[in-house]
Structures are given as C-alpha cells and as structure tokens.
C-alpha cells in the first residue's frame, strides 16, 4: 500500500478519487446525525444554562453571584466539546472481491465508499480518524491526526487499495494497530474522550480470524460498529444449473447442482448471519447488515440515527 | 402383435448413444467466484464426470430417435397368427391319372381343404372355373395364397407340368409350403389367333383295316384346317401296322412329328377304364399294351395310354388305342378334334407341353427361405404413426430447448 498523501498522477486514480469522494458525500448528504453527539453537559467557560442545586452537586460549582442576587443556589452549566477518535477498519481481503451476478461492482467498492463517507463525516465533526486496511495477511494503518484534510488522505488511500490475501494470522495484529494509532492520537490534542471503531467487512473468516481479532476490542470496551456487507446473491442464491463455486480467498470450491443445493445453502447462510448477530450485536457492539448492491445510504443513515438517539 | 417389416431399421436405435452421451458426460462447469461458501461447505467436492441432466429433454430426444428408428423398421400390427392350414389345389382342366387321384383322395382324407387353383380359390365342390388358361398365372396365385394363409401352412397342387404356364421368376414363399403333384396333361383351349392360321401339312398313312379310323382322323384333321399332303409334311399320321415310305420316314428323322395308333400287332385288351385326353373323362373300351416312352397320359388304371419317343430330330406320339368307336368313345366326342388341333397346331401351349419334362422339377415354388415381402391379410401398418410421433417429439424437443435458451438468456 502506498503512502498516504502522495499526489497520484494517474488520471484513472484521480477519476476514481473523484467518484469516491462524490459517493462518500452522497452517502452522508442529508444525514442530520453524526457519528456521535459532539457536546455533553459539563463545566467550561462557554455558558449553557443554570440548573437548581441538588444534593450531591459539588458546592464549588454553585454560582455565588447569582446566590447573592436571588438567595437561591444555582449551578452554572456549560456544554463541553467532545471528540471521538474514529478507527475505520476496512476488510481488504480477497473475499471482498465478491460480486453478485447482477451487481454493478465488487463488495470492496461498497466498503471503500462507506469508509470514505465515514471519514468525511468524522472530518466534518472534527474527530481524529484513522484508517486500517486489513488484507494480504497484515494491517496497514493510516492515522490522520494532525494532518490537514484528513478526509482527502483517506480517500486517496482507499482509492488505491486492492483487496487481496487473507486476514493476518496473528489475532493481535488489529489490536496492536489500533493501540498504536490511539497512542499517536494522544498527542493530537485535548478533548478526545472516547474511541469508536467501525469495522467494514463481509464477515468471511475461514478460520475465525475476525472473531479472534475483534474479541480484544470487546474486552477493552471499545465501542464498535460492525458494518457487514451481505450481497444480494448471498441471500437469494440466484444460481442455476451445474456450477463450480470458488472462494476468492481460500480457493476452496464446491461443484454442485445449484438448484438442488439452493435451499440448504440459504439456510446455512441465514443461520450463520443469525449466529453473527447473536455474538456481536450488543451494548457496545452493533452489527449492521448492508447490501452492497442496494441503497447503502439508507442503511448507513439508519445506523447513525440509532446511535444519536441513544 | 407387432412385426417389423424392415428389422434392419432398428439398427438406427444405435443413434440413441448420441443423446445419452450428451446428457451423461458432464460439460465444463460454469465457474462462480464467491466471497465465501456458506458453512458447512465441507471439503472441496467435485461432481462426477458423468451426471444425468435434463432428464425430460433426454427422454424427448431418445423418444424422437426411437420413433424414427421404428418408422424405418416399418412396424405393423398383425392379428394373432391362426393355426396353419392344409390345402389341396386342383388346376382347372388338369387331366387326372390314377396315382394323382389316389393322392388327391389321400390328402382329402387327411383333412386337407380342396380348392381350385384359380382366382378366389373357390372350393372344389363348386363349379370348375371356366377356361383352361385360368390357372396360367399359377405362381402369382400361389404368391397370393402365401400372403393369405398362416405360417407353416401346406398345399399340394395337382396340375400338369406345363412350362408355359409359369411366367416370371420362380417364387419364394414364406408361409406356404407347396408340393406339386403332376397330372398328365391339361385340356387347353386353343389360343386366340387374330390373323390367318398357318397351314399344317399332314401325311396320313393307313393300313387297309383302318378305314373307319381314317375317317375319324381325317375329320379331325379337317377341323384343324390342315392340308393332307405327302410332300414335306409337318406331321405324319400312321394308322395300323405298316411301314412308312422312305420319304416320310426321312421326314420324321428330319424333325416332323409322327402320330401312331396302337398298331395291328398289339393285342386288344378288354378294359373298363377311362382316360381324359381333353376336358372330359371318356370311356376306354379296349386298349393295347402300354407303349414305351415318356408317358404323356395315363388311363384310369394308371397305365400309359400315350407316350412320346424320339426318332432322329422328330418325335413320335404313340397311342395305346385305336381311333375307333369300338375302342373308345373319344372319336365321337368333341374332345377328339380338339386334341388334334392342340397337337398339330404349332403354338406355345403345344410346344410347351412337349417340353414339360424339363421344367417339371422346378414348378413347385421354393420353400420358405425368408420372410414374405407381402403383409398378411389384416395387418395394420404403423409406420405412419411412428413418423407422426417423431414429428411431434421433434416439435416438443425444439419447444423445450427454446424455452431453456430463453430462461438462460434472462
């Protein structure tokens, strides 16, 4: 993966960049919600409101001048700016090259657009954002803290990424990369109060690599949004006749009469997705299934709206 | 029961191997690259190199080829084969001899059904078909009978060995086995002669005691429109025991015919017999000793009454009787001039009658060597139905393929 920030002379890449930026903005256009609430009540210089004193409030937060005028205890409140460090983890393994019979593009194109959109959104909110591309047996990280126009940097990196290989065999590789960007981001400025990890993947884990990589995040109580791309042909299985199915990532194949095994495969796929949701859909782990061939923005906006309503 | 008129057409069933191979051997599979196979995909699995597919389409194609093969084999529905029959066939006008009659009665006693060998095969109990030429298409009639009777049937034909009556190639019959029992001769009607009849020159030499015989013979010769002359005759009639003049003897040696009666030397033997020189059986009151030579006619006792011998290039017809009413009623009957007419007139029937001995062994049609080319009576051809079925199956197969192609294009 090339270094971020390098200006690419390739016109095709420039066109791809432009298209990706446009797609990313379209995805988040009209989204009234961001990735997280930007302010929370607290004490700061910027006045927000007065609130009546309640037992338990710190006495030092009482506005004594107001007490002198009104002879009642009030607390002076102000909104505190909150910044959430966003880690975008994009599955760039070979399985993301999946493309349904009627699909316009590979799954990775959808993942790229989603990551770009979220990066754009984070940039808008002023949140530090880092990108982690997982593929070819390694995690390649790009921290944008302290950079100008981090969204553009992320766009360029995403535009050049090509899905290949598998998840790293080391289950701690992702955690290490996240910790490193967390450490680098500590010097990026004050106000970063939380971390949000967004994992964009197809969920393909021949040996449980994704489960092993995400488990430490649960232990560390990271807030994780898991955007799982499920193609339409994976839920409808439109294939007919004798077909040789080959996995992009492992080369594993299955020769079968597609019509005869359709029901069995659909049941297995549905059971697998249900098991995934049971395991990864909880208080701090939210799993959202998105159709890469459908309206991505709808799913993305619904997800953001739910988060803001919490 | 279904019979195949052309069983070799069933070899076309070998073409079934083509659709069977097409539908059995696996085609290269369409490859679909996917992100992942839903669990449990199990170990990598290959389809066998063979696999039936499109069973209905395969059935249509096989049915189409089978219908074509069946159509080529020309099937026909035949009713259940009845039991073989046993017939005796009598040639109309055949002159019976003693042994033939005995054999005829023996066959009848054995249960054989008696018929005339004539169009429609009427029963012998009915009137004899008119005309001596009625049976002339003997082989054609036997072919027809072969097509009518059940397989394994047998027929014994009682008829003369007259080569002129058998035209065309010798038939080979499939269901009917024919045995030919020769009779002596046949009364034939003179062939129609549209033009003027050629003159037949006859020299008559009679002994003094045959004046009465000579009268009947001359009347018959007159009826046959022959001219009596001693110069280069075609025929020489010798009545009585006398020596032929040298010129006539030389003429016979050169190829003329000689007709002789019993001669004076032969003793008259009283006999209550019959013989049939023509259409009717006639009484034979006296007769001489059986003459030597090839027998052309026998009396009712089976003894030869007319023989043929060769003398140089000529031939001699030797009667064992005199042409006299004391010996036989023949000279008084119409059959007498008719016989002279048939013998003297050089025509195909007469010539063929003299060559009968050479042709006789081949008159019986050959035994069944193969299947008949003629369908039996009552057979229903099914080839058209096969062609029709093939056409319908072809249309169905095309419609099926078209629908599949349209679905694949979606």
Closest by Cβ to A244, choosing from B29, B36, B51: B29
Mean pLDDT of A19-42: 58
Question: What is the pLDDT, as a whole number, of residue A24?
Answer: 63
Mean pLDDT of A107-118: 89
Helix pair A173-185, A209-219: axis angle to 10 deg: 40
Residue B37: Cβ within 10 Å count: 22
pLDDT of residue A9 exceeding 80, the answer is no
Closest by Cβ to B47, choosing from A95, A101, A255: A255
Closest by Cβ to B32, choosing from A95, A107, A239: A239
> Which chain B residue lies closest to A93 (C-alpha atoms)?
B35
Question: What is the pLDDT, as a whole number, of residue A20?
Answer: 64
Question: What is the pLDDT, as a whole number, of residue B365?
Answer: 66
Query: Which of A160-164, A238-242, B88-92 is predicted most confidently?
Result: A160-164
pLDDT of residue A200 exceeding 60, the answer is yes
Per DSSP, the three-state class of A49 is: strand
pLDDT of residue A191 exceeding 60, the answer is no
Q: Do B34 and A249 touch (CB under 8 A)?
A: no
Spell out the domain ranges in chain B: 2-29+49-79+378-409, 86-189, 200-345
pLDDT tens-digit series, residues A280-308:
777 667 888 888 888 787 777 777 777 76
**Do residues A84 and A127 touch, judged by C-beta distance below 8 A?**
yes
ipTM of this predicted complex? 0.71
Identify the band that residue A13 occupies on the pLDDT scale cut at 50, 70 and 90.
low
Q: Would you give the end-to-end CA distance of chain B in angstroms? A: 49
Could you tell me the fold of the domain covering A11-29+83-309?
Answer: Rossmann fold (3.40.50)
Question: What is the pLDDT, as a whole number, of residue B187?
Answer: 45
CA dist., res. B175 & res. B177, Å (int): 7
Q: How many angstroms separate the CA of residue B64 from the nearest CA in chain A?
A: 25
Question: What is the pLDDT, as a whole number, of residue B18?
Answer: 92
CA dist., res. A145 & res. A127, Å (int): 9
Residue A224: Cβ within 10 Å count: 22
Q: How many angstroms separate the CA of residue A119 from the nearest CA in chain B?
A: 25
Segment (H or E) for A286 = strand A285-290
Identify the band that residue A22 occupies on the pLDDT scale cut at 50, 70 and 90.
low
Residue A9: Cβ within 10 Å count: 7
DSSP per-residue letters across B174-232: SSEEEEEEEES-B--PPPP--SPPPPEEEEEEE-GGGHHHHHHHHHHHHHTTEEE-SSS
**Do residues B276 and B95 touch, judged by C-beta distance below 8 A?**
yes
Mean pLDDT of A175-193: 70
CA dist., res. A276 & res. A207, Å (int): 14
Residues of A in contact with B26 (CB under 8 A): 242
Q: Which residues of chain B have pLDDT under 70?
A: 38-48, 97, 130-136, 161-169, 184-197, 264-268, 271, 346-378, 410
Which class would CATH give B200-345? alpha beta
Q: Do A269 and B53 touch (CB under 8 A)?
A: no
Spell out the domain ranges in chain A: 11-29+83-309, 41-81
Q: Do B37 and A206 touch (CB under 8 A)?
A: no
φ/ψ (deg, to 5) at B104: -60, -50
Mean pLDDT of A29-58: 64
Question: What is the pLDDT, as a whole number, of residue B271?
Answer: 65
Mean pLDDT of A11-16: 62
Residues of B in contact with A204 (CB under 8 A): 35-36
Identify the band that residue A35 occupies on the pLDDT scale cut at 50, 70 and 90.
low
CA dist., res. A94 & res. A55, Å (int): 59
Residue B406: Cβ within 10 Å count: 9
Q: How many angstroms separate the CA of residue A236 from the nearest CA in chain B?
A: 13
Q: How many angstroms separate the CA of residue B44 from the nearest CA in chain A?
A: 5
Question: What is the pLDDT, as a whole number, of residue A296?
Answer: 80
Residues of A in contact with B39 (CB under 8 A): 268, 272
Question: What is the pLDDT, as a whole number, of residue B361?
Answer: 44
Q: Do A96 and B32 touch (CB under 8 A)?
A: no
């Amino acid at each position: 993966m090339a270094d971020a920030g390098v200006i690419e002379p390739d016109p095709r890449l420039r066109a791809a960049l432009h298209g990706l930026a446009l797609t990313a903005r379209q995805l988040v256009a009209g989204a009234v919600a961001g990735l997280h609430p930007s302010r929370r009540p607290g004490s700061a210089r910027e006045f927000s409101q007065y609130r009546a004193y309640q037992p338990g409030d710190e006495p030092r937060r009482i506005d004594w001048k107001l007490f002198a005028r009104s002879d009642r205890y009030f607390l002076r409140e102000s909104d505190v700016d909150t910044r959430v460090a966003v880690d975008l983890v994009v599955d760039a393994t070979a399985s993301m090259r999946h493309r349904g019979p009627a699909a316009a593009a590979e799954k990775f194109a959808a993942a790229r657009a989603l990551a770009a959109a979220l990066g754009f959104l984070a940039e808008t909110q002023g949140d530090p954002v880092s990108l982690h591309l997982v593929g070819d047996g390694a995690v390649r990280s790009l921290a944008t803290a302290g950079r100008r126009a981090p969204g553009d940097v992320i766009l360029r990196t995403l535009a050049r990424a090509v899905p290949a290989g598998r998840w790293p065999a080391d289950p701690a590789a992702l955690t290490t990369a996240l910790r490193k960007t967390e450490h680098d981001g500590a010097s990026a400025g004050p106000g970063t109060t939380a971390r949000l990890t967004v994992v964009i993947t197809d969920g393909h884990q021949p040996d449980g690599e994704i489960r092993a990589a995400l488990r430490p995040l649960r232990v560390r109580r990271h807030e994780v949004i898991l955007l799982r791309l499920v193609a339409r042909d994976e839920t409808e299985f439109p294939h007919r006749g004798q077909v040789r199915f080959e996995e992009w990532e492992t080369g594993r194949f299955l020769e079968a009469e597609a019509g005869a095994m359709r029901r069995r495969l659909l049941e297995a796929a549905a059971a697998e997705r249900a098991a995934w949701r049971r395991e990864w859909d909880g208080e701090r782990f939210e799993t959202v299934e998105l159709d890469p061939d459908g309206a991505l923005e709808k799913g993305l906006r619904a997800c953001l709206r739910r988060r803001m309503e919490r | 029961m279904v019979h195949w008129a052309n069983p070799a057409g069933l070899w076309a069933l070998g073409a079934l191997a083509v659709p069977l191979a097409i539908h059995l051997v696996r085609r290269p599979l369409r490859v679909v690259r996917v992100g992942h196979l839903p669990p449990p995909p199990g170990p990598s699995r290959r389809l066998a190199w063979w696999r039936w597919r499109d069973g209905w389409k395969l059935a249509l194609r096989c049915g189409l080829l089978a219908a074509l093969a069946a159509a080529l084999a020309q099937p026909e529905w035949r009713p259940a084969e009845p039991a073989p029959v046993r017939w005796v066939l009598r040639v109309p006008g055949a002159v019976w001899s003693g042994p033939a009659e005995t054999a005829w009665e023996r066959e009848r006693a054995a249960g054989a059904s008696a018929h005339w060998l004539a169009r429609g095969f009427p029963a012998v109990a009915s009137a004899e078909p008119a005309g001596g030429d009625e049976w002339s298409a003997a082989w054609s009639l036997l072919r027809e009978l072969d097509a009518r009777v059940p397989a394994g049937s047998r027929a014994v034909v009682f008829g003369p060995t007259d080569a002129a009556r058998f035209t065309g190639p010798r038939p080979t019959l499939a269901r009917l086995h024919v045995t030919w029992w020769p009779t002596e001769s046949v009364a034939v009607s003179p062939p129609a002669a549209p033009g003027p009849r050629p003159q037949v020159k006859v020299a008559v030499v009679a002994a003094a005691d045959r004046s009465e015989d000579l009268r009947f013979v001359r009347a018959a010769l007159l009826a046959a429109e022959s001219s009596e002359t001693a110069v280069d005759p075609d025929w020489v009639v010798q009545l009585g025991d006398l020596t032929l003049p040298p010129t006539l003897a030389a003429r016979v040696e050169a190829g003329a015919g000689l007709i002789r009666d019993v001669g004076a030397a032969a003793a008259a033997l009283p006999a209550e017999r019959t013989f049939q020189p023509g259409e009717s059986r006639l009484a034979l009151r006296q007769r001489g000793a059986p003459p030597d030579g090839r027998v052309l006619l026998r009396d009712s006792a089976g003894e030869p009454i007319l023989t043929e011998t060769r003398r140089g290039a000529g031939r001699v017809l030797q009667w064992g009787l005199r042409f006299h009413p004391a010996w036989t009623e023949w000279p008084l009957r119409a059959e007498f001039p008719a016989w002279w007419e048939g013998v003297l007139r050089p025509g195909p029937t007469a010539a063929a009658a003299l060559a009968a001995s050479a042709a006789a062994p081949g008159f019986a049609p050959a035994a069944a060597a193969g299947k008949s080319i003629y369908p039996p009576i009552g057979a229903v051809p099914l080839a058209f139905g096969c062609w029709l079925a093939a056409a319908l199956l072809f249309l169905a197969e095309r419609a099926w393929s078209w629908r599949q192609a349209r679905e694949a294009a979606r």
